[in-house]
Amino acid sequence: MKKEGEKKQGVLVRLWTKPYVVVGLFILTFWIGMMIGNGKLDLTPSRSEYAATTGLPENLDYSSVDQVYDALRDNYNGKLTSQQLLDGMKKGLADATGDPYTEYFTAKKAEEFQNDLNNSFSGIGAELGKDNDDNLIIVAPIADTPAEKAGLKPQDVVATINGETTANLSIDDAVKKIRGEKGTQVKLQVVRDKTTPLEFTITREDIHIKSVKWEVREDNIGVITISSFSADTSNLMAQASAEMLQKNVKSIILDLRSNPGGLLDAAVDVSEQWLPSGKKILEEKRGSVVVESYISKGPGALQGIPTVILTNQGSASASEIVTGALRDNNAARVIGEKTYGKGVVQQPICINQTAFKGGCEGDMLKVTVASWYRPNGQNINKKGITPDQTVKFTEEDAKAEKDPQQDAAINYLTTAR
Q: Annotated active-site positions, please?
A: 317, 328, 342
Tell me the CA distances in angstroms from 125 to 86, 92, 102, 143, 145, one per residue in order: 37, 36, 31, 8, 5
Q: Is the dihedral of CA 113, 119, 122, 124 positive or negative?
A: positive
For β-strands 157-161 and 185-192, DSSP reports them as antiparallel
CA distance 166 to 176: 12
Q: Return the exposure string of 145-159: e unless at least 16 CB atoms fall within 10 Å of the residue's CB, then b.
A: bbbbebebeebbbbb
The DSSP element (H or E) to which 122 belongs, if any, is strand 120-123
Cα angle value 172/173/176 (rounded, 5°): 90
40 SS3 class: coil
Closest to 282 (Cα-Cα) out of 241, 315, 328? 328
User: Looking at this protein, which amino acid is placed at residue 254?
Assistant: L
CA distance 276 to 241: 15
